[in-house]
Amino acid sequence: MNKKRITGVALTLALLCAAPAMADEAMTVEDLQANLNVVWTSVAAFLVMFMQAGFAMVEAGLTRSKNTVNILMKNIMDFSIGSIGFFFIGFGLMFGQKAMGGWFGTTDFLLSGVAIGSEGWETQWDWTFLIFQTVFAATAATIVSGAMAERTKFVSYLIFSAVISVFIYPVFGAWAWGSLLHEDAGGWLEGMGFMDFAGSTVVHSVGAWIGLAGAIVLGARKGKYGPDGSPKAIPGHSMALAALGVFILWLGWFGFNPGSTTFGDGMIGYIAVTTNLSAAGGAVAAMFTSWAIFKKADMSMTFNGALAGLVSITAPCDVVSPIGALIIGLIGGALVVFSVTFIDRVLKVDDPVGAVSVHGVCGAWGTLAVGLFALEEGLFYGGGISQIGIQLVGVLVAFVWAFGAGLILFSILKATVGLRVSEDEELKGLDIGEHGMEAYTGFQIFVTQ
Amino acid sequence: MNKKRITGVALTLALLCAAPAMADEAMTVEDLQANLNVVWTSVAAFLVMFMQAGFAMVEAGLTRSKNTVNILMKNIMDFSIGSIGFFFIGFGLMFGQKAMGGWFGTTDFLLSGVAIGSEGWETQWDWTFLIFQTVFAATAATIVSGAMAERTKFVSYLIFSAVISVFIYPVFGAWAWGSLLHEDAGGWLEGMGFMDFAGSTVVHSVGAWIGLAGAIVLGARKGKYGPDGSPKAIPGHSMALAALGVFILWLGWFGFNPGSTTFGDGMIGYIAVTTNLSAAGGAVAAMFTSWAIFKKADMSMTFNGALAGLVSITAPCDVVSPIGALIIGLIGGALVVFSVTFIDRVLKVDDPVGAVSVHGVCGAWGTLAVGLFALEEGLFYGGGISQIGIQLVGVLVAFVWAFGAGLILFSILKATVGLRVSEDEELKGLDIGEHGMEAYTGFQIFVTQ
Amino acid sequence: MNKKRITGVALTLALLCAAPAMADEAMTVEDLQANLNVVWTSVAAFLVMFMQAGFAMVEAGLTRSKNTVNILMKNIMDFSIGSIGFFFIGFGLMFGQKAMGGWFGTTDFLLSGVAIGSEGWETQWDWTFLIFQTVFAATAATIVSGAMAERTKFVSYLIFSAVISVFIYPVFGAWAWGSLLHEDAGGWLEGMGFMDFAGSTVVHSVGAWIGLAGAIVLGARKGKYGPDGSPKAIPGHSMALAALGVFILWLGWFGFNPGSTTFGDGMIGYIAVTTNLSAAGGAVAAMFTSWAIFKKADMSMTFNGALAGLVSITAPCDVVSPIGALIIGLIGGALVVFSVTFIDRVLKVDDPVGAVSVHGVCGAWGTLAVGLFALEEGLFYGGGISQIGIQLVGVLVAFVWAFGAGLILFSILKATVGLRVSEDEELKGLDIGEHGMEAYTGFQIFVTQ
Amino acid sequence: MKLIIAYIQPEKLNAVKQALYERDVTKMSVTNALGCGQQGGFHESYRGVDIEVNLLKKVRIEIAVNDDYAKPTIDAIIAGAKTGKIGDGKIFVVDLADCIRIRTGEIGSAAIG
Amino acid sequence: MKLIIAYIQPEKLNAVKQALYERDVTKMSVTNALGCGQQGGFHESYRGVDIEVNLLKKVRIEIAVNDDYAKPTIDAIIAGAKTGKIGDGKIFVVDLADCIRIRTGEIGSAAIG
Amino acid sequence: MKLIIAYIQPEKLNAVKQALYERDVTKMSVTNALGCGQQGGFHESYRGVDIEVNLLKKVRIEIAVNDDYAKPTIDAIIAGAKTGKIGDGKIFVVDLADCIRIRTGEIGSAAIG
Ligand SMILES: Nc1ncnc2c1ncn2[C@@H]1O[C@H](COP(=O)(O)OP(=O)(O)O)[C@@H](O)[C@H]1O
Ligand SMILES: Nc1ncnc2c1ncn2[C@@H]1O[C@H](COP(=O)(O)OP(=O)(O)O)[C@@H](O)[C@H]1O
Ligand SMILES: Nc1ncnc2c1ncn2[C@@H]1O[C@H](COP(=O)(O)OP(=O)(O)O)[C@@H](O)[C@H]1O
């Protein structure tokens, strides 16, 4: 039977006769709120899904044209493999009833407890929750590709991307967000009072610390550091794509943060305001900071700054004032410039798109900012220092877990399938080496590095 | 009077006084559900409209830079002409009361029965339904431009694009979806029990079979086949645009499939899950299939695979399990690789972007998959073979109608205004020939074919 | 406390127990409508925000590759600075209680009257209203960058962009839309009966007239006019980006116009229909007009035409019939071709992307069209000529205010920090001059002007 | 030794390469160029303003050959590129004073092939 | 016959073409090039790291002429390209051993124009 | 005077520039080119159809030098570009009949440096 037809008819009836057309028993206001929550959360999930396009464009734009096909393939594959893997394994690990005192879930794999097609199926919340969580998991995974761009073996990438989506991300997620589906399935971190509303740490830092581990194990791109260790610029091939990507991400974040209410009420608008102010602050601060330091208003820093503001406000977006949000964004934006420079020059870790700074460092900053700016718990509002202590624990645990798991994972891959492409392939470009094609046929491209 | 002000005021009042501010008679829960349906269906329609950008980017990216302006013009014009034509003629043909036992509609042109500005106008469903159906019609039309890219005369394109939107698509639509507006206006195919929830056949196959007819009547692009008939590669000019397009389409599909409920409840999330799993499966399967056959993970095949998964799940998205959806997508993704190769090498039909394989072949597959995987009617779930028989009838009828009407239409155009540009124009590029300009001024582009 | 968890739980409860889980007192249907309005208005705001990406792509695509970084920087900065400035100052000026008989607001800066975190906070409308109005303000500001592209000093741009968002736009907004937040805070123009539903004049014309003033004060780009004053073509560098931008804007307009109801009911669908028909009409009319005049179907005119249709229908979208909307769009599309040519050849004002024609001229046309086509007030529907008189007043006032304020502002800047880059910088490109980098590293780009 | 420089229509490159291969000339260097010659330009327009385009896309081939190969090489280029229509292109021949293979340091005729 | 190769500033191309036309030199081939000479490079930076850019955009013109046209051609290029600022460019003159028009097979001086 | 034309691997450009600077050769012009030589091409494929790519990316350097600079220049190019692997490239030397500096009108040897 064609549901579409039925609803069409039902609607027509409802409108024509003004009789309760939908239900055996009358629909209640609460049912409707539940339906509204579904609509809102679904739309938010779609916006977050679209962030994949944003990441793809940013990462492609900030790398060289000889590696464009490769980075695009990585982006579509991490989302595809992640969507499947999270459905089978990750979701249950993260949201199922917890084993061993809140360390990981053991139920709800494939949402198997939810009968399909049965009575009341059409008003189910769980599927909407699943798609929303799936796109979050994919976000964490996709962050890694940026930090490891232009030199990672494709087959290795597929493997570790799967591991991130089915294991590293959901396990940490279980600790911090385990109770989102079943109230009594909470993880140990949230049990302590750790606050990370939309995932500064859970999603962004986790992804970034894995990426950091990857960038370290891989080593820098050929030509990134001179013989004397001085960093060289390897400019990306399209600032237009990079900018487009950032705008798409900014849009997607309105799904990410306000969507994390998973509830259709005025908080959506409020969180949209804090999110937007922080992003704007990030862009402004990064621009002026880069201008002051480098004597030019640097574009890639400015756009990174907007992302920095967005990552920073992800954890505190629902508990801070708009002014607080703006300050958090401004600091995030300044921070990202220093962090990129520090990682590039001092740590000498080669992160082509600045993913570690944007998602890792600013993710940590945003998480800590909860302890400072939260209207109830924050230090600056008389909430004392206990919350910031808890936040610090969460930040550190995320680092240890994600960076540690990443190091182990990448070391194993390095020793087995190999993590890095050959020198010759890196020189010619991964597009030809891994995929046997070029991204911009016909265009005369002149790359001497 | 300014509606905006009124609603603003009404809202303020509603919030301040908590009194029923909207209505002479009290609003009911059913009224609200109707409003929620409007919001959801409108948002879904906008997402589907955005697929036009996706198609434009995919088609531009997979063709040569000398034809970019032309393909972009075709994309905006099919949407524009289609929107107008469907409003005047197509909509009534499709959804009006049916003449002659369900063959086509004869009422509701311009939604003329719906009084504008009258009592209750603001709660009308019909306009939302119209915009939703308009963007669907435009999707069918736009598929054709890809299959006929890089050699079709622009003026001919405008003509046949209009014919598709006002006649070929809506007539078939009347048969399969005729009752969506008026319950008693059903077409003969749906009367038989044909199931195509969101249009694997109605939208995608119909568009693709017309495109197939067009590609055949046109003949291959110069240089596509060697003197011995061996296919040559004519690489597209921007994999970045192509990838962006696929991500946009993937997003748009969350309007296409879940939106086809036109109803705000939990089915949105469920269909989003099946849709996403199938898309992911399609990408993964296409990648591994291309890898196995061509020894390289082919990018354009992988991205085509995601679309293949999306097209495949479009018909069955509401009646299959997530696992079923994943399998449907995996098969669709593998299928598209073989189909592209088969059409290219054996049929020797030149379809630059793979539209026939993606939308036609996988559309047929998805429609048949209903008969196999539907939880109630599907063969694999004990539903017997009757449904698959009905689905087969629908698939064949779509082919005969769309391919046949296409052949006639293109043959007439060929004999009159002419369907194909001159050899010289094809060589120089349609951008210069048809539009007197280039797409990438300043860029050194080196095309030797 | 983690709101996310609570709502998740609440939902689960609501679904499992079907008990009123949300509230101390029972939620009413009106509460729900308010929640639905929040969801809809927020989604609409996000779509409008995404128009920033559209503007960025259109402006980048229609200018030369040596100025791409600069135009992208301008786009992100006007949104960022605008978001912050509008929050602090613009919003209150526009929507606060009016001083001096409706000239500007003096309250509600930072929405300071709205207690954060208090009882009922979560159902607040004001924040949603703020984010929606913020993205509108940013739209007005961003229009200016197109008209002044390829020669404006970056630091000057930052300054005047801020002035537009915090002063020029909100003051005019106060006159026409002042009552949207507080019913009794209406401005003098709306008091007269001026109708501009979604901002043909308030947003688009205001932005464009400022841009016109800027383009005049700046003077034309080097090489734009020959020694004899004949206009030269300076083709943009990427029609693909320009087209993508237009599609994004078209999508965004479904937030702009239907979103301006800020109310979730059937008017959304209705306005979507009128908006879409007008856009389609604009594209079609512009194409055929350019074809007739220039003998070629000009792409940039066609895409400008779609925008012209969209701008034209912005004021009258809620009060005209679909046929009326189509006609308005057709006229707008034809108008834009003549206007671009007129401004280019006769006025000899150099507007690289046609912003003055698209947003200014068509904005004025759309505003006047209310007086002609409005089903109640319109001349063609027996409404007499009084409304068109009022509309004309609004159009003229907008011109005088925006163009005048712009002239003053730009003259001051010219005399102080300087408005235009040096000749040498203009030649080399603003990307290198202002930002020390190039947009397309590696690509061989051959620009001889 | 001679350095042969040829400007041809872009779409003839494959045919020229083919013709060269048949005459055992397998080394060459190719760049893209814009040519201005007898072949008429054409009009483009942008936003209603005409543009006279008289720099047309060409391919530039550079081939260093020993003297006895000069004639066959020229013949091959003509064979591959000639259509008889204006715009077919030109071949320029320059004396080559010396030639060095970077890899081996060979010089003169030995280095050319 | 001479082959004249000139490197000029990109924005001077139109002026040079104009000057050549006035002297009846209507055939030429143009490529884009990067030049390194006396003209100072400039600094770019990317993500805070400096890049020394000393390959500047130039246009390369190649014109084959009969001997008596060499001087006017060179004069025309100078007339069109000279600003007196460093970076104006260079002209190189090479003896042309032969010239063939592909379309007709004409050779030598007859083929040049 | 000599005009030295060298085709090298793109990634060797910086090394060659370095080597030239060390020998006081600071002026040159660079274009991108596609080379076909002894170095094997490779396979690409697109949508399952193979493409034989035998035009490989190269960089073309053009340097005008006085006769006594010819040898050091060639040596420098070899020093910077040589890896010993096929594809390293070639150097062609052509007699330069004349050289003019556009800015000053200087001619001959004086104009070269
Ligand atoms: N004297 C010349 N100097 C440099 N390039 C030339 C000269 N004559 C012709 N060319 C090149 O050859 C191309 C074809 O020349 P053209 O005169 O159009 O054709 P044809 O040789 O068939 O008469 C030109 O576009 C230009 O690139
Ligand atoms: N010896 C040379 N060999 C090759 N190209 C040269 C040589 N000298 C100059 N050029 C080219 O000419 C351009 C201008 O030279 P430059 O020395 O900067 O200016 P000027 O001639 O005004 O002193 C350079 O960028 C380069 O492309
Ligand atoms: N005879 C030739 N004429 C023109 N260019 C040549 C010639 N021989 C070599 N080249 C250029 O030099 C490049 C390197 O030549 P190749 O034979 O591959 O390497 P190697 O010199 O190491 O044997 C080629 O790709 C081509 O660009």
pLDDT tens-place values along chain A, 449 residues long: 233 333 433 443 333 333 333 444 688 999 999 999 999 999 999 999 999 999 999 999 999 999 999 999 999 999 999 999 999 999 999 999 998 778 999 999 999 988 888 778 888 999 999 999 999 999 999 999 999 999 999 999 999 999 999 999 999 999 999 999 999 999 999 999 999 999 999 999 999 999 999 999 999 999 999 999 999 999 999 999 999 999 999 999 999 999 999 999 999 999 999 999 999 999 999 999 999 999 999 999 999 999 999 999 999 999 999 999 999 999 999 999 999 999 999 999 999 999 999 999 999 999 999 999 999 999 999 999 999 999 999 999 999 999 999 999 999 999 999 999 999 999 999 999 999 999 999 999 887 76
Place of tokens 């809506």: B170
Per-residue pLDDT at B160 exceeds 60 = yes
**Reported pTM:** 0.96
Question: What count of CB pairs under 8 Å joins B to F?
Answer: 34
CA distance F57 to chain A (A): 8
Distance CA B187, CA B205 (A): 18
DSSP letter assigned to residue B199 = -
Backbone φ and ψ for A198, nearest 5 degrees, come out as -120, 5
Where would I find the beta strands (DSSP E) of C334-406?
A: none
D102·F89 Cβ contact <8 A: yes
**CB contact at 8 A, C89 and C104:** no
CA atoms within 13 A on the CB side of F35: 22
Q: Which residues of B37-57 are buried (b: 16+ CB within 10 A; e: fewer)?
A: bbbbbbbbbbbbbbbbbbbbb
Distance CA A334, CA B307 (A): 41
CA A235 to centroid of ligand 2, rounded, Å: 26
C422 contacts: CB under 8 Å, gap ≥ 6? C433
User: Which residues, judged by CB distance below 6 Å to any ligand atom, belong to the binding site of ligand 3?
Assistant: D 27-29, 62-64, 101-103, 112; F 7, 35-39, 56, 58, 86-90
User: Quick one: which atom of ligand 3 is closest to the CA of F86?
Assistant: 22
pLDDT at B25: 64
**F27 contacts in chain E (CB < 8 Å):** 36-38
**Ligand with minimal distance to D57 CA:** 1
- Tell me if residue C26 falls in helix, strand or coil: coil
Q: What's the average model confidence in pLDDT over F4-25?
A: 94
Per-residue pLDDT at B23 exceeds 60 = no
Interface test with B, best of C128, C270, C294, C376 (most B CBs within 10 A): C270
The closest of A74, A54, A62 to A253, measured between CA atoms, is: A54
Distance CA C323, CA B379 (A): 49
The closest of D75, D78, D63 to D3, measured between CA atoms, is: D63
| E-proximal residues of A, 193-252, CB under 8 Å | 231-236
**Ligand with minimal distance to D35 CA:** 1
- For chain E, the residue count is 113
Distance CA C83, CA C138 (A): 7
Per-residue pLDDT at C22 exceeds 50 = no
Distance CA C134, CA C149 (A): 23
pLDDT at B16: 37
DSSP letter assigned to residue C27 = P
**D74 contacts in chain E (CB < 8 Å):** 100
Closest partner CB to C444 (pick from E10, E32, E45): E32
The closest of D83, D81, D100, D109 to D15, measured between CA atoms, is: D81
Q: What's the average model confidence in pLDDT over C6-34?
A: 56
What secondary structure does DSSP assign to B75-111, as a single string? HHHHHHHHHHHIIIIIHHHHHSPEETTTTEE-S-GGG
Ligand 2 lined by E36 (C-beta under 6 Å): yes
CA D73 to centroid of ligand 1, rounded, Å: 19
E51·A235 Cβ contact <8 A: yes
CA atoms within 13 A on the CB side of E113: 11
SS (H, E, C) chain D: CEEEEEEECHHHHHHHHHHHHHCCCCCEEEEEEEEECCCCCEEEEECCEEEEECCEEEEEEEEEECHHHHHHHHHHHHHHHCCCCCCCEEEEEEECCEEEECCCCCECHHHHC
Name the residue of E4, E5, E7 whose CB sits within 8 Å of the most ligand 2 atoms, as the mutation to test its pocket: E7
Place of tokens 């097209």: B311
What secondary structure does DSSP assign to B3-29, as a single string? HHHHHHHHHHHHHHH-S--S-SSPP-H
Distance CA F39, CA D52 (A): 41
**D7 contacts in chain E (CB < 8 Å):** 29
Interface test with C, best of A57, A129, A183, A239 (most C CBs within 10 A): A239
DSSP letter assigned to residue C221 = P
Using left for φ > 0, alpha for ψ between -120 and 50, and beta otherwise, residue D5 falls in beta
A30 contacts: CB under 8 Å, gap ≥ 6? C14, C18, C19, C20, C21, C22, C27
Helix C68-85 × helix C126-147 angle, to 10°: 150
Using CA atoms of A7, A9, A15, A21 in order, give the dihedral in degrees to the nearest 10: -70
**Ligand with minimal distance to E91 CA:** 2
Distance CA C337, CA B186 (A): 45
**A442 contacts in chain F (CB < 8 Å):** none
Ligand 2 lined by E35 (C-beta under 6 Å): yes
Residue D21's domain comprises: 2-112
Nearest CA owner, ligand 2 atom 6: F28
Q: Which residues of D90-113 are buried (b: 16+ CB within 10 A; e: fewer)?
A: bbbbbebbbbbbbbeeeeeeebbb
Place of tokens 């594809």: F87
Distance CA E77, CA E65 (A): 13
DSSP letter assigned to residue E10 = G
Closest chain F residue to A432 measured between Cα atoms? F44
The closest of C141, C211, C119 to C410, measured between CA atoms, is: C211
Does the beta carbon of E14 lie under 8 angstroms from any beta carbon of chain C?
Answer: yes
- Total tally of structural domains belonging to chain D: 1
Helix (H) or strand (E) holding B411: helix B386-415
pLDDT bin (cut points 50, 70, 90) of residue C25 is: low
Select B3-435's CATH number: 1.10.3430.10, 3.40.50.2000, 1.25.40.390, 1.25.40.10.
Answer: 1.10.3430.10
Name the residue of D4, D7, D93 whose CB sits within 8 Å of the most ligand 1 atoms, as the mutation to test its pocket: D7
**CB contact at 8 A, A402 and A171:** no
- Tell me if residue E37 falls in helix, strand or coil: coil
**Ligand with minimal distance to D26 CA:** 3
Distance CA C221, CA C219 (A): 7
CA E59 to centroid of ligand 1, rounded, Å: 18
Does the beta carbon of A440 lie under 8 angstroms from any beta carbon of chain F?
Answer: no
pLDDT at C98: 94
Ligand 1 lined by D35 (C-beta under 6 Å): yes
Distances (CA, A) of B251 to A45, A273, B307, D107: 10, 24, 11, 61
Ligand 1 lined by D39 (C-beta under 6 Å): yes
Closest partner CB to D8 (pick from E28, E62, E102): E102
For residue F55, list its beta bridge partners. none
**E14 contacts in chain C (CB < 8 Å):** 448-449
**CB contact at 8 A, A171 and A184:** no
Residue D10's CATH number: 3.30.70.120
What are the boundaries of each domain within chain A? 3-435
Place of tokens 């259509």: D83
CA D4 to centroid of ligand 3, rounded, Å: 14
**C293 contacts in chain D (CB < 8 Å):** 48
| F15: its two tokens | 């090394």
| B353: its two tokens | 């972007």
DSSP letter assigned to residue A27 = P
**F43 contacts in chain A (CB < 8 Å):** 436
pLDDT, tens digit, for every residue of B326-354?
A: 999 999 999 999 999 999 999 999 999 99
E94·F99 Cβ contact <8 A: no
Q: What's the average model confidence in pLDDT over C6-30?
A: 50
For residue B146, list its beta bridge partners. none
ipTM: 0.96
Distance CA B168, CA B196 (A): 17
**F85 contacts in chain D (CB < 8 Å):** 103
A93 contacts: CB under 8 Å, gap ≥ 6? A104, A105, A106, A166, A167, A170, A171, A173, A174
Interface test with F, best of B290, B294, B350, B445 (most F CBs within 10 A): B294
Interface test with E, best of C224, C448, C449 (most E CBs within 10 A): C448
